[in-house]
A and B are shown apart, each in its own frame.
Chain A
Amino acid sequence: MNDFIMGPLPLWAEILTAVFAVVGAAFAAIGSFGLVRLPTFFSRIHAPTLGATVGVWCTTIATIVYFSVQGGNLFLHASLIALFVALTAPVTTIFLMRAALFRERQKGSDVPSPDRARP
């Protein structure tokens, strides 16, 4: 990291960037650790959403603060990533959940049957 640019950033912007980057990375790490530690698939699928929501939002806010203060104008492109992940992560999770339920039913495991929802 030798070519780290020593820009004259004000102190509050640096502290804000540092705090949001570390908090976002910590949430992503906690979510991924839950992926390893939790016992069954249906409890494990909850863990990575921590990184996909709070982790992505905090890191995006850190990017927006840093590049806005450094460039002098509002850098809002980064919120596109957070918006895109907020739209697509639930779609992937729903698909994966349906696939997992389908496969568990085919194996004959003890999961809710498909016609329980509509009596």
Chain B
Amino acid sequence: MTLVLLWALKFALLLLAVAMLCAVTRLLIGPTAQDRVMALDCLYINGMLMMLVLGIVYASNVYFEAAMLISLFGFVGSTALAKFLLRGEVIE
């Protein structure tokens, strides 16, 4: 019955890869700068979810810490970019 779980997790990984491809598409074709920042925000959340699913697949806790680091630095990065779009500089 473990095979069912393995295939479900593989399907989840496939769906997350499709989601990341959609985000990269918007990152490349986005007409304005705020579109690209929003696509980056979506991309790091999808990557973090992929890390969590990979942690279940390999039954390892290291991926969990990687997911936490991705969520931390992703938040800092997209907030800094949004602040840059708003003011023209990050730290006033």
Interchain CA distance A26-B56 in the complex, whole Å: 17
User: Count of chain A residues with Cβ under 8 Å from any Cβ of B?
Assistant: 57
A3, B58: Cβ atoms under 8 Å? yes
> In the complex, how many angstroms separate the beta carbon of A53 from the nearest chain B beta carbon?
10
A interface majority secondary structure: helix
A41, B13: Cβ atoms under 8 Å? no
- For residue A6, CB closer than 8 A to chain B, the reply is yes
**A18 with B19: in contact, given A59-B53, A66-B56, A84-B72 (CB under 8 Å)?**
no
A59, B52: Cβ atoms under 8 Å? yes
Interchain CA distance A106-B8 in the complex, whole Å: 48
- The residue from B26, B41, B49 contacting A55, defined by CB atoms under 8 A apart: B49
Report B's interface with A, CB cutoff 8 A. Answer: 1-2, 4-6, 8-13, 15-16, 18-20, 22-23, 25-26, 32-35, 37-39, 41-42, 45-46, 48-49, 52-53, 55-59, 61, 64, 67-68, 71-72, 75, 78-79, 82-83, 85-86
In the assembled complex, 15 residue pairs joining A and B whose CB atoms fall closer than 8 Å, in A order, are A1-B58, A6-B2, A9-B2, A15-B4, A17-B56, A33-B19, A41-B32, A41-B35, A52-B45, A56-B48, A59-B49, A62-B52, A63-B56, A70-B59, A103-B33
Report A's interface with B, CB cutoff 8 A. Answer: 1, 3-7, 9, 11, 14-15, 17-19, 21-22, 24-26, 28-29, 31-33, 35-36, 41, 44-45, 48, 51-52, 55-56, 59-60, 62-63, 66-67, 70, 77-78, 80-81, 84-85, 88-89, 91-92, 95-96, 98-100, 102-103
